[in-house]
Amino acid sequence: MSKSEELADLKKECLSCLRCELGKTRNNIVFSDGNPDSAKYILIGEAPGENEDLTGTPFVGRAGKLLNEFLIQAGISRQEDLYIINTVKCRPPKNRVPSDFEKEQCRNFIERQIKIVNPKAIILCGATALKSFYTTKIPISKIRGEWLKINVNNIEYNAMAIFHPSFLLRNHSMEVGKPRWLMLEDLKRIKNM
Ligand code: SF4
């Protein structure tokens, strides 16, 4: 069975999930994007927003479009190199941060996706993803760009935290040392690992 076939089975299970309150208000489960058979990296974002909930695809709104631009500049193919997920599969009302309980309820799906895809590295996109997989009090602005080791399903993965593109929508400068410049540097490091 290919990775895509295994994930299609898992998605069927996920589609009927009502383990937490987010399942009651969703329009769509936002399961993943990208090609699991060719993906080198899993990128984990925070949670689906309005556009993601309406389309069932992660990172398709303004932040997603900005992420696409950075990926192109770094030479990473969104469709071939990445498998994209979030810490929860259903949109939190008013785009609030998902609660620890909601993330815990969804964790089993996330861990099984990681196990099936078995990536070369995991990209923790934004503070919510970082805190969900790495225990630290260091803010993302200080820890981003460093190679970390994280343990998922008793397997150790290389991981790197990067800024969430929604943060970059509020920070426009590409000057050396500014968040957008750092984002590109981080993605280039991931590409060259
Ligand atoms: S967020 Fe996850 S655990 Fe909660 S209902 Fe959706 S799929 Fe189920």
14 CA: nearest ligand 1 atom = 7
pLDDT of residue 144: 98
- CB-ligand 1 contact for 33 (6 Å cutoff): no
Torsion angle, alpha carbons of 117, 107, 167, 184, to 10:
-20
CATH number, position 61: 3.40.470.10
Tens digits of per-residue pLDDT, 148-159? 999 999 999 999
Residue 149 is encoded by which pair of tokens? Answer: 């080791």
Residue 106 CB–ligand 1 contact under 6 Å: yes
Number of Cβ within a 10 Å radius of residue 167: 18
pLDDT in tens, 96-109: 999 999 999 999 99
Protein residue whose Cα sits closest to atom 5 of ligand 1? 23
pLDDT at 172: 94
State which residues form the domain around 100.
Answer: 3-191
Ligand 1 atom showing the smallest separation from residue 88 Cα: 1
Share of the chain above pLDDT 90, in %: 99
Q: Which of 28, 122, 49, 50 is nearest to 84 (CA)?
A: 122
- List, for residues 66-87, the tens digit of each pLDDT value: 999 999 999 999 999 999 999 9
How confident is residue 167, by pLDDT bands cut at 50, 70 and 90? very high
Is 11 a pocket residue for ligand 1 (Cβ < 6 Å)? no
Q: What is the mean pLDDT of residues 95-123?
A: 98
Residues 24-52 have pLDDT tens digits of: 999 999 999 999 999 999 999 999 999 99
Stated as kind and residue range, the H or E segment containing 4 is helix 3-15
The pTM for the full model equals: 0.97
Closest CA to 17 of 5, 6, 4, 30: 30
Task: Tally the domains of the chain.
Answer: 1
Segment 53-65 shows an average pLDDT of: 97
